[in-house]
């Protein structure tokens, strides 16, 4: 956790506002915000640059407020080796990809059959994080839904989104097939291939089913293959967002992760 201290009035109220209240107001999740009890452990002595009169703070080193300082303030004593800070949590883990190596690699996710905004928000976040080329939904107005935004984490700002209603899916899927895509459906059928046994094509459209009804019978004939996640529990199936994320990551692992 890095705190840059500028030439402003420094008080616990301001720190609390900037580091906890403002993140909450803009939708940052609790796990990504700084916990208020940690702020109480911060002493002015931890920030030497506060007392320095300079317009250029870049000459001063950054100060890391981590677990060892929390332990010092709370007088927590641990056995040797447990306070090692060589491994710390990292919230952002984006890597660069050579786009030239991804020529001919394309995944389009069709989520027009999904009804719940929360599932759409989760799928949008997954698609953006894992490099999906395009996400198609039934109604673009859903991205303004609070349930969508609670899970999307603003991923809709970077995701290529298009709209196609369920009744338009037959023509949409045919157009993708004519463009060289293989149409894969996430569905449990009598001839589904288990996810762990399949080799995905490099140009693929993934159709996700409705939360309750799955993929309608009349759309199954437009699919080149159906894929299911093998399960050993008694519950009928996984949530569509979870299933979609598993299939998307499998594609990412096979065609994109190796190019980083």
Q: How far is 115 from 4, CA to CA, in rounded Å?
A: 44
Give the pLDDT score at 108. Answer: 98
Give the pLDDT score at 7. Answer: 45
Give the pLDDT score at 78. Answer: 53
Give the pLDDT score at 192. Answer: 97
SS3 201: coil
Give the pLDDT score at 98. Answer: 79
Give the pLDDT score at 153. Answer: 95
What residues contact 65, with CB distance under 8 A and at least 6 apart? 1, 3, 38, 42, 46
Q: What are phi and psi of 165, to 5 degrees?
A: -75, 160
Nearest Cα residue to 222 out of 164, 168, 162? 168
The residue count of the chain comes to 260
> DSSP state, 21?
I
Region of 208 please: left (phi>0), alpha (psi -120 to 50) or beta: beta
Give the pLDDT score at 64. Answer: 47
What residues contact 152, with CB distance under 8 A and at least 6 apart? 120, 121, 122, 124, 125, 143
Region of 160 please: left (phi>0), alpha (psi -120 to 50) or beta: beta
Let me know if 239 is exposed, middle or buried by CB neighbors in 10 A (0-12, 13-18, 19+): middle
What domains, with CATH codes, occur in the chain? Answer: 102-256 (3.40.1280.10)
Give the pLDDT score at 46. Answer: 54
Whose tokens are 């953006």? That residue is 128
Question: Tens digit of pLDDT per residue, the chain (260 long)?
Answer: 444 444 444 444 566 677 777 777 766 666 666 766 666 666 655 555 545 555 555 555 554 444 444 454 454 455 555 555 567 676 666 777 777 889 999 999 999 999 999 999 999 999 999 999 999 999 999 999 999 999 999 999 999 999 999 999 999 999 999 999 999 999 999 999 999 999 999 999 999 999 999 999 999 999 999 999 999 999 989 999 999 999 999 999 999 998 87
Give the pLDDT score at 83. Answer: 54
Give the pLDDT score at 231. Answer: 94
């Amino acid at each position: 956790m890095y705190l840059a201290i500028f030439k402003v009035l420094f008080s616990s109220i301001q720190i609390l506002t900037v580091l906890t209240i403002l993140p909450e107001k803009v939708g940052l999740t609790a796990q990504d915000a700084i916990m208020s009890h940690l702020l109480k452990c911060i002493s002015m002595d931890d920030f030497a640059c506060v007392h320095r009169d300079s317009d250029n703070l870049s000459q001063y080193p950054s100060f890391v407020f981590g677990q060892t300082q929390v332990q010092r303030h709370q007088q927590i004593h641990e056995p040797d080796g447990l306070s090692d800070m060589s491994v710390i949590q990292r919230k952002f883990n984006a890597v660069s990809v050579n786009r030239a190596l991804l020529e001919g690699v394309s995944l389009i996710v069709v989520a027009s059959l999904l009804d719940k905004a929360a599932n759409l928000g989760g799928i949008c976040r997954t698609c953006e994080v894992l490099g999906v080329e395009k996400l198609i939904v039934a109604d673009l107005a859903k991205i303004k839904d609070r349930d969508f935004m609670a899970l999307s984490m603003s991923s809709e700002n970077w995701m290529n989104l298009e709209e196609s209603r369920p009744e338009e899916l037959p023509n949409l899927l045919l157009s993708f097939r004519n463009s060289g895509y293989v149409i894969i459906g996430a569905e449990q059928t009598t001839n589904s291939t288990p996810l762990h046994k399949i080799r995905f094509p490099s140009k693929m459209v993934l159709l996700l089913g409705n939360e309750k009804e799955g993929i309608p019978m009349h759309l199954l004939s437009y699919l080149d293959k159906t894929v299911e996640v093998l399960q050993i529990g008694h519950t009928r199936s996984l949530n569509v967002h979870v299933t979609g994320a598993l299939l998307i990551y499998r594609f990412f692992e096979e065609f994109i992760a190796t190019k980083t």
